[in-house]
Structure 1
């Protein structure tokens, strides 16, 4: 039986270099806002002062930004990443077209159609193009995608190239080739480092962090009372889903409860109904998905999700004695 003070683990997603202390504080502040929204203001001090749980922000961002690394660290794409990115953008546009059908969102549907035309043209002409030219065409696709709601007026991604470079981190993590697989292994080791398998654990993961947590929890083995996924691309077509280990994808056996949250304006989210694509554990645990509608801009941030009472309540309740 788990004993001792609960552990709360935050696992971040795509992005630039992070400061663990600052990010931990920001995620906790957002969770406190969510607790207030859920009517659990009495738990805020216990949460932010560390009385409720030992809180860890698992920071692996430096593994994607080391000096001399290819891709995002140098501000340019690794040519090897271009095929993955083309596939990922294809899956993203497929999902977005379902979320914004012409009959409901004609203007948004036109944006998605324009991006699809650009992507198809880039892929169709790739035999006569070099990787650099295809990469520039993919930047055009992401630039068009940034015209969609929730991101069109935000500086979350300053331009299409910034978005594309950060999406490349997903491919870098999932690269299983011998000379590349060490990145994913190092990321997972960073996430579980220092966890006490004898104490209760709640995991809150976001974006790429949900993919990392999926594999890390399958390897870790220790009991997880609650796993929360936010803005997850786990079921984003074959480009992510079919690359997961283990496969076929299923809920980690050590997870007692899995809650998945998605925002309609979050362009990185894959299929909202994870349970339709990722099987249950042998104990029958599978993802329970809830849609949240964020206020304002920057929908693809963990803090925006954590500010919702629907997200904060189960986290707080899982940590309470």
Structure 2
């Protein structure tokens, strides 16, 4: 009845499963945890060739060679703002053409109190992967004008944005890959409950898009999870909640949910899950310092106290025994 931990990685290509698992173990526990840890390694579904073992993952805060940056870098901030302005105009035109009351007039409808333009602009800054503090803050002048849109228009804009910038997110929500990715997470959870781990504490850690996948699997099929940890998660963003399979709530079976984000992490643009995911007493939001180049790195999140401490408390002396 030893504890088990299941990791769910985020967007982009990754190293081989055993390499990535060991990297996360080292960041969280300071040692490779062997059979006590497991990675829900879904990257091969979208990226047939893994990153070389010594290669840094750019979405995990690592650097990439300049020639590959030129080939694969998302649009610049200026191009993204032009894209935002154009798609906002298209959505407003579509909104105006709809019959009154079908989804609500512009500025009404479920969740329409969330201005979208500022979020889109900020995601553009993430797409450029700024490696330093600064840049126009949220709501700074010079960006596209923020308007309140009904949920169907926000969802359409969100879909266009992720197709434009974040390919794996688009594949998960709109490209037909979601079911297969969730299957990988289900299998990892099932395997974690087998053998010596049966009946012992279970921890699930999801980073970025991986936090969404882990959340949806746990919401679909309730499991006893002693600690659910989300790091660099976009689950608090209204546009993400618009496209989830069900309304936001703590998944049945989750005893404790800890959410950690850095204020400079623009994937986790909204840092508080607690107001939207009931029952609120099960959720705690933590602001931490993520020292990776883009403030989104998984290993940097795993090394922070609010993430490490509750996990290590459940694992007791197991990490120390792994070094013996």
Q: TM-score, normalised by structure 1?
A: 0.62
What is the match of residue 54 of structure 1?
A: 36
Classify 1:293/1:319 alpha carbon distance in 2 versus 1 (closer, same or farther; 3 Å): same
* Distance in 1 (alpha carbons) for counterparts of 2:41 and 2:218: 16
Q: Render the CA deviation track for 1:140-174: whole Å, top value 9, x for unaligned.
A: x836863756478xxxxxxxxxx977623122212
Matched residue count: 230
Q: Kindly state the Cα deviation for residue 271 of structure 1 after the two structures are TM-superposed.
A: 1.4
What is the match of residue 214 of structure 2?
A: 213
Q: Secondary structure at the match of 2:204?
A: strand
Classify 1:165/1:62 alpha carbon distance in 2 versus 1 (closer, same or farther; 3 Å): farther
> Which of 309, 312, 322 is matched with 1:313 structurally?
309
User: How does 1:145-164 map onto structure 2 within 5 Å?
Assistant: 146=128, 148=130, 150=132
Q: Kindly state the Cα deviation for residue 233 of structure 1 after the two structures are TM-superposed.
A: 0.6
* Distance in 2 (alpha carbons) for counterparts of 1:251 and 1:19: 31
User: How does 1:230-309 map onto structure 2 within 5 Å?
Assistant: 230-237=231-238, 239-245=239-245, 247-280=246-279, 285-295=281-291, 297-309=293-305
What is the match of residue 72 of structure 1?
A: none
* Distance in 2 (alpha carbons) for counterparts of 1:24 and 1:213: 16
* Distance in 1 (alpha carbons) for counterparts of 2:7 and 2:291: 22
Q: Kindly state the Cα deviation for residue 315 of structure 1 after the two structures are TM-superposed.
A: 0.8
What is the match of residue 8 of structure 1?
A: 5
Q: Render the CA deviation track for 1:279-311: whole Å, top value 9, x for unaligned.
A: 22xxx6532101001235242111010111221
Q: Secondary structure at the match of 1:274?
A: coil
Q: Render the CA deviation track for 1:9-52: whole Å, top value 9, x for unaligned.
A: 111001114311111111111113xxxxxxxxxxx5xx5354xx
What is the match of residue 83 of structure 1?
A: none
Classify 1:277/1:27 alpha carbon distance in 2 versus 1 (closer, same or farther; 3 Å): same
> Which of 162, 169, 185 is matched with 1:191 structurally?
185
* Distance in 1 (alpha carbons) for counterparts of 2:258 and 2:83: 33
Q: Render the CA deviation track for 1:111-145: whole Å, top value 9, x for unaligned.
A: 98x67742433325669xxxxxxxxxx99x83686
What is the match of residue 107 of structure 1?
A: none
Q: TM-score, normalised by structure 2?
A: 0.62
Q: What's the Cα RMSD here? A: 3.4
Q: Contact 2:233–2:268 at 8 Å: present in 1 too? A: yes
Q: Render the CA deviation track for 1:188-226: whole Å, top value 9, x for unaligned.
A: 111121231644210111000110011111233221000
Classify 1:144/1:303 alpha carbon distance in 2 versus 1 (closer, same or farther; 3 Å): closer
What is the match of residue 172 of structure 1?
A: 171
What is the match of residue 24 of structure 2?
A: 27
Q: Secondary structure at the match of 2:178?
A: helix
* Distance in 1 (alpha carbons) for counterparts of 2:180 and 2:277: 25
For structure 2, list consecutive stretches of 5 or more residues without a partner in the other structure.
50-75, 92-119, 135-161, 318-324
Q: Kindly state the Cα deviation for residue 185 of structure 1 after the two structures are TM-superposed.
A: 1.4
Q: Contact 1:264–1:291 at 8 Å: present in 2 too? A: yes
Q: Contact 2:7–2:38 at 8 Å: present in 1 too? A: yes
For structure 1, list consecutive stretches of 5 or more residues without a partner in the other structure.
33-43, 68-110, 128-137, 153-162
* Distance in 2 (alpha carbons) for counterparts of 1:185 and 1:198: 27
